Amino acid sequence: MKAMFRSLSSFNYRIWFIGALVSNIGAWMQATTQDWVVLVDLTDNDALAVGTTMALQFGPQLLMVPISGYIADHFDRRKILMCTQSALMLLAAGLGILLLTGVAELWHVFVFAFTLGVVNAIDTPARQVFVSDLVGQENMANAVSLNSASFNTARLIGPAVAGILIALVGSGWVFMINAVSFLAVLTVLISLRVSELHRSPRATGSPIKNIVEGFLYVRARPDLTVIFVIVFIMGAFGMNFPIVASTMAVEFGRGASEYGALSSILAIGSLTGALLAARRARPQMRIVIVAAGLFGTASTVSGIMPTYISFAISMILVGFSTVTLLTTANSYVQTTSDPIIRGRVMALYAAILMGSTPVGSPIVGWVANAFGARWTLGVGAMAGFAACAVGLGWLIVSRKLRLHRDPESRWRLVVTHFGKPMPGAAPSSLGRMGLTTPIQVVHGENGEREYLDVHGKAFVPASTSEPDAAPRRPDTKPLPVPDDARSETATNDDAGSREPCAETASVGLPQSAPQAVPFIEPETLTGQIRVQYLDDDGEDRTAPRP
């Protein structure tokens, strides 16, 4: 349990978590109310209008990815968020006033949705990368998962409260309450201990050069490319929950409160997925792929449920698979990206996730109008299976995923791939893509010596000095790997341990495979370096001493 919530030990992250939770509850109240206003108050159950609203809201994420990533990497993220959160507060208050005065029309909501999308396009990458400023690299994956838990706790509460408030006081007051909720996160941003923030290096150079660097970085990382393709498919055709929930509520003849309850029930599974992700030491690609297949299965089951109650219960599994996929993908992208370019990478990730919605939501809305609400879940099921197929294809082709009969058991199969060889396999059999964990050469400041950081563990040359002299969390910068590094023995300095590695394996680092070691620049891959080899499960697969 302590490991699940370890990021909350930081004061800055703790107050951020609380403020973001309050603001997220308001945001979910607003999102639920916006869809209901379009579907019921301003149109006659027009799902296409809901899809158009979503397209206008999320389209700017895709169009503004170059500038939003540049802003996140070049400017103070705390100040960026203060500006964007203030703008979002004013927008919510503006539409709330229009609804309360009874003058709101459909085109007002369209303009509001587009403007909201423009502000969110700048806010989203800065807010996601700001997590690393709050907790640092070592707790980033945990903090990302807890952020998702906060988001889905808000999803559990916000839509249900919105449904009740719509019925009691009307839609306009929901927008006004959300406007007030932004004061929570603005207060937190002002109250942060600035001296305790983990400042990542700021990018330099021209905007055009920096934008190009972001795209080239992702192109050189096939693992990130696969993640982005999976997220695009799911975002475009699988995660159109406002359309699914609103049309299915109408399908079962239910009102605003039951519609809000559907979103909250979906969040039960989402919150469970986020908390389980927070327990994992590090994100893994295979979890993303399995979650996509699980989403396809869950959507299929939901689409054939005969009653409102059974449908609502089945949506728990849909929410679980969705957040497991998104949280793991987000953590994977952030923790394996170079800090100096992380803002641009996350802007591209957010653009693909949010910007894919304008591609799919009008299509899903049209499907609901033409064939019925249940077919929206059919489209989602096909998206989940397609995304799973993309991931499996990458594993089979690029990572050499194979099934073998266990030599010790006739009826048992063993799954192997680069990063998880057969038990007892020598590292030399892994090929050039065998080294799958991030590795960097770290230069210590103030006269401290350099060492190797392999997935958060410090490995120092045993011949230089005692392991406890190794710096713990210095600023990192890639250094050329010396040719004689291949003959050095490494010592594990993680958590104060002075135990030598079982055996340091010589792992080839050819210049043609920078994606295998994302923290080392291609020009630094000058030879071989001897490190302990850990597989994707964290098990030692290093060849034993003869």
Cβ(49)–Cβ(31) below 8 Å: no
Q: Inform me whether the pLDDT recorded for 134 exceeds 60.
A: yes
Count other C-beta atoms under 10 Å from residue 416's C-beta.
17
Q: Inform me whether the pLDDT recorded for 457 exceeds 70.
A: no
34-43, 183-192, 210-219, 436-445: least confident range? 436-445
Residue 411 buriedness (CB in 10 A; 0-12 / 13-18 / 19+): exposed
**Cα dihedral: 377, 383, 387, 389 (round 10):** 100
Q: Which two tokens stand for residue 502?
A: 């079982």
DSSP 502: S
Rounded CA-CA distance 344/129 in Å is 10
54-63, 387-396, 521-530: least confident range? 521-530
Residues whose CB is less than 8 angstroms from the CB of residue 309 and which lie 6 or more positions away in sequence, other chains included = none
Cβ(373)–Cβ(250) below 8 Å: yes
Q: Inform me whether the pLDDT recorded for 430 exceeds 50.
A: no
Mean pLDDT of 17-31: 90
**How is 510-532 classified by DSSP, letter by letter?**
-TT-GGGSTTS-GGG--SEEEE-
6-15, 18-27, 285-294, 430-439: least confident range? 430-439
Cβ(481)–Cβ(524) below 8 Å: yes
Q: Provide the pLDDT confidence category of residue 408 given band limits of 50, 70 and 90.
A: low
Mean pLDDT of 62-89: 86
CA-CA-CA-CA torsion sign (215, 212, 120, 59): negative
Residue 247 buriedness (CB in 10 A; 0-12 / 13-18 / 19+): buried
Q: Inform me whether the pLDDT recorded for 92 exceeds 90.
A: yes
Beta strands, E only, 417-504? 439-442, 451-454, 457-461, 490-492
Highest-scoring range by mean pLDDT, 34-43, 380-389, 450-459? 380-389
Structure confidence at residue 201 (pLDDT): 64
Question: Torsions phi, psi of 290, nearest 5?
Answer: -65, -40
Rounded CA-CA distance 91/118 in Å is 11
In the three-class reduction of DSSP (H, G, I as helix; E, B as strand; rest coil), residue 71 is classed as: helix
Nearest to 222 by CA among 44, 26, 395: 395
Q: Provide the pLDDT confidence category of residue 90 given band limits of 50, 70 and 90.
A: very high
Cβ(140)–Cβ(335) below 8 Å: yes
In the three-class reduction of DSSP (H, G, I as helix; E, B as strand; rest coil), residue 436 is classed as: coil
How many residues comprise the chain? 546
CA angle 291, 292, 295 (to 5 degrees): 85
Mean pLDDT of 141-168: 82
Residue 359 buriedness (CB in 10 A; 0-12 / 13-18 / 19+): middle
133 versus 483: the higher-pLDDT residue is 133
Structure confidence at residue 177 (pLDDT): 93
In the three-class reduction of DSSP (H, G, I as helix; E, B as strand; rest coil), residue 312 is classed as: helix
Q: Inform me whether the pLDDT recorded for 485 exceeds 70.
A: no
Structure confidence at residue 162 (pLDDT): 87
Q: Provide the pLDDT confidence category of residue 494 given band limits of 50, 70 and 90.
A: very low
Q: Which two tokens stand for residue 34?
A: 């916006």
Residues whose CB is less than 8 angstroms from the CB of residue 51 and which lie 6 or more positions away in sequence, other chains included = 240, 243, 361, 362, 363, 364, 365, 366
Rounded CA-CA distance 75/203 in Å is 9
Rounded CA-CA distance 430/214 in Å is 29
Residue % of the chain over a pLDDT of 90:
20
Cβ(296)–Cβ(243) below 8 Å: no
Instruction: Give me the chain's average pLDDT, please.
Output: 72
Q: What domains are there in the chain, each with its CATH number?
A: 6-397 (1.20.1250.20), 425-531 (no CATH)
Q: Inform me whether the pLDDT recorded for 534 exceeds 60.
A: no
Structure confidence at residue 543 (pLDDT): 40
Structure confidence at residue 387 (pLDDT): 95
Rounded CA-CA distance 278/3 in Å is 8
152-161, 162-171, 201-210, 494-503: least confident range? 494-503
CA-CA-CA-CA torsion sign (20, 21, 26, 27): positive
Residue % of the chain over a pLDDT of 70:
70
Rounded CA-CA distance 150/172 in Å is 25
Structure confidence at residue 389 (pLDDT): 94
Cβ(436)–Cβ(284) below 8 Å: no
Mean pLDDT of 69-87: 88
Beta bridge partners of 405: 413
pLDDT tens digits along 319-335 = 899 988 988 888 888 87
Structure confidence at residue 290 (pLDDT): 92
pLDDT tens digits along 459-471 = 443 333 333 333 3
Q: Provide the pLDDT confidence category of residue 58 given band limits of 50, 70 and 90.
A: confident
Highest-scoring range by mean pLDDT, 259-273, 363-377, 493-507? 363-377
Structure confidence at residue 97 (pLDDT): 94
Q: Provide the pLDDT confidence category of residue 94 given band limits of 50, 70 and 90.
A: very high
Q: Inform me whether the pLDDT recorded for 475 exceeds 70.
A: no
DSSP 448: P
Nearest to 89 by CA among 189, 202, 234, 207: 189
Q: Provide the pLDDT confidence category of residue 504 given band limits of 50, 70 and 90.
A: very low
Residue with tokens 């707790």: 139
The letter for the amino acid at 529 is: I
Rounded CA-CA distance 273/316 in Å is 10
Structure confidence at residue 381 (pLDDT): 93
Nearest to 491 by CA among 464, 463, 462: 462
129-143, 409-423, 483-497: least confident range? 483-497
Structure confidence at residue 74 (pLDDT): 81
**Cα dihedral: 297, 299, 300, 301 (round 10):** 90
Q: Provide the pLDDT confidence category of residue 358 given band limits of 50, 70 and 90.
A: confident
CA-CA-CA-CA torsion sign (325, 13, 267, 377): negative
